[in-house]
Structures are given as C-alpha cells and as structure tokens.
Amino acid sequence: MERTFCMIKPDGVRRGLVAEILSRFEKKGFRIVAMKLMRIDRELAETHYAEHREKPFFEPLVNFITSGPVVAMVLEGPGVIAELRKMMGATNPADALPGTIRGDLATSIDENVVHGSANAEDAEREIALFFKAEEFVA
C-alpha cells in the first residue's frame, strides 16, 4: 500500500485548522499510520527543502516553516501520493480550485497550510527524514 508524507504547516496550526484538515483525510479514507506535533529546527527545514536552496524564497520559506509547531504525518492509501496533492490544490492558493485545502483555506503562496510529497521518491525520503520505525502504528 502506498504511503506519503504530509505536514500541516505553522500557519495551519496557528489558525486552528488541524481538525478541519485531518477530518478531510479521514473522510477521504486515508489511514494515518504515524503523526506528531513538532517543531522543525533549521537543519531539518534546510534538508527538507534542499531542492529550493538556490531559490530567492528559500530563506523566508525556512523562517516560516520553523516559526511554530507543525503536525507531521504519514498517510496510507491507494494512490495516496497523487490523491493528497489533488486534495491540497495548486501551490499558489490563487490558482487552487475551490474544494481543495489551499483553495478553501489559504490566500498566500508563502503560507499555504499544507505540504505533501511530490512523488514516490520524495515520499520515501521525507518519511525517513521525519519518522523513525517505532513511531508507526502496527
């Protein structure tokens, strides 16, 4: 069964959207196989977003993602990597359709509420970066 890494970003936690977002995943039928409330330190943030190191938005992105607690989780389900990205909507909430998480709950590309792995390779890397084997349910 496919797995992906998902994170409710600091803006989502600050704005009280954790239950709303988890509710969408539960209703969709994804299984939550690991989950924790945590602070991301600079080192983890820079590793997680390493692909964007040379981009102009890298510093603000790292500052934002370390600015408060996040809810990190591993979701499991058929086609969950692509399904989660569909449910999240476009990176820029201005382009995200109504009905998607970013379309319904966000207005700014800098603070777009959720992260989801982009593909199978990223999912594997990100799951290993955030979770140890003993943090998964049986």
Active site residues: 115
Q: With CB under 5 A, what is the number of residues at the site for Mg ion? A: 1
CB of 138 to ligand ATP, least distance (A): 28
Chain residues binding ligand ATP by CB under 6 A are: 52, 57, 61, 91, 109-110, 112, 115-116, 118
Applying CB under 5 A, the span of 35-43, 80-88, 93-101, 115-123 interacting with Mg ion comes to: 115-123
Dist CA 61 CA 81 (whole Å): 22
CB of 66 to ligand ATP, least distance (A): 13
27 class by beta-carbon count within 10 Å (0-12 exposed, 13-18 middle, 19+ buried): exposed
Dist CA 123 CA 101 (whole Å): 19
109 binds, among ligand ATP, Mg ion, none (CB under 5 to 8 A by kind): ligand ATP
Q: Write the DSSP assignment of 11-66 as a string of letters.
A: HHHHTT-HHHHHHHHHHHT-EEEEEEEEPPPHHHHHHHTGGGTTSTTHHHHHHHHT
| Choice between 44 and 118, CB closer to ligand ATP | 118
| Choice between 10 and 116, CB closer to ligand ATP | 116
| Choice between 32 and 118, CB closer to ligand ATP | 118
